[in-house]
Structure 1
Amino acid sequence: MTIDNIIELLNNKMPKNAIWLGWSIGGLIASRFALHYPKNILAIISVASSPCFIAKKNWPGITKCTVYRFYKNLKTNYYETLHTFLTLQQRNLINSIELKKIIYSQNKPSIKLLIEGLKIICSVDLRLEITYIKVPVLRIYGAMDSLVPKKISSILDDKCPDTYSVIIEKAAHTPFISHQKEFCTILLNFKKLLLKY
C-alpha cells in the first residue's frame, strides 16, 4: 500500500471539511491528502511529523539505517522494541504504563504492514510540495524528539504560508501522552483561530 493508495481510501471514508490530526507518519499522510484534495479538508494538525523523515543535506531527520534497525527490531522482538521506544518517549510514568497496557493488549501488526510503513517513511519527501498546501496547518513538536527534530519547525515556518508551529518543552515523540493538558490546550486554541477565518 502506497501513500497515494491510503489517501484514496481515506477520501472515500472521511467526512468532508474536517480538521485532520496526524501523528508521525499520519502527519505525512494528512499533508499528502491536503495536496490532493484541498477542498475536502478544513485544516491539518501535524504532530511530531515531518514532510521528510530522512536526513538530507540541510535537512534534519533520521538516517535510513536507524529506520531499518527499528524495523528489524520490531520484526524480531515487537513488544520489547515498543517497550524501549515508549520508555524513551515518556516522562510521565503513569501515562506510559497505561499506554503500554493498551498496546500490549492488541494483536501485533503484520510484517507486511511494517514494511509498507517503512517504505513510506524512507521514500516520501514532500518538502517542495508542502509549500502548496492551501489550508491552515498547525505543527506540534516535542523539544526532545530524536525522530523529528524541532529544528524542522523554523524551516517550515519560513517556507509555508498559514503555518503555526508549537514546540512543547520536555516532550518527545508522543507529546499527546506526556503533556496531555498542554497538548489539548494547543488544539483548542487552534480551533478558536480557525473560527476567525
Structure 2
Amino acid sequence: MPKKTTELEVRLPMWDELPTFSLHLDQLLDLTNGVLEPITGDKVTKTMLHNYFKDKILVPPVKKRYYRTQLAGSIVVGLLKNIFTLSEVKAGLITMLGTGSPKAGYNNFVVMFNEQAAKVGTEISDPTSLELKSANQATLMQYDAVQSILFWLLAKYRLNDLMDNEQEEAATEN
C-alpha cells in the first residue's frame, strides 16, 4: 500500500530513463506496474493492456514487441484511468500527442507530475517548469490532469491513514 499522507513520495521516470530495447508483454506489464503500484497501490493487467491496444487508447505493438511509446502510454493511462473514463483518457492523449512527439508529451506530463507531487500536502501552486498564462490548451489539460491525479492520491492516502488510525485505536481499546 502507498505511504502515509505526509510522505507522498512519488516520481515518474522520464522518457530517457525508460528502456530503449523492445519488450515482451510480460516485461511491459512488469515495468508499468513497477512504476504504478508504489504510487496507486493498483496494478494494470494483461487484459487491461489488450483492451487499451484494441481500443486504440495506446499505440498497438509492432509484431508483438513493445517500446517506450507503449510503456510511457501504459504508465500515463494507468494513472489517468483512476479519475477519467477511458474515452476521456483517449481523447486527452490524442489532444496531447497531436501537438508534438510522444517523447515531448510524456516528458511534459512527467515534469509537471514530479514537480507537483513534490509539493503535495503544501499549498497548491503553479508549476515552476512552465508559464500557465501562455500555455496551450493541451498543456493546461495535462496540468489539470496531474492535479486531479495528485488530489485523488492524497485523498486515498489520507483515507488509508484514517482507517489505520481507527484500527490502531480499536486494538488499544481491547
Q: Say whether the fold is shared (TM-score over 0.5).
A: no
- Whose strand fraction is larger, Structure 1's or Structure 2's? 1
Larger Rg: 2
- Whose helix fraction is larger, Structure 1's or Structure 2's? 2
Q: Normalising by structure 2, report the TM-score.
A: 0.29
Q: Normalising by structure 1, report the TM-score.
A: 0.26
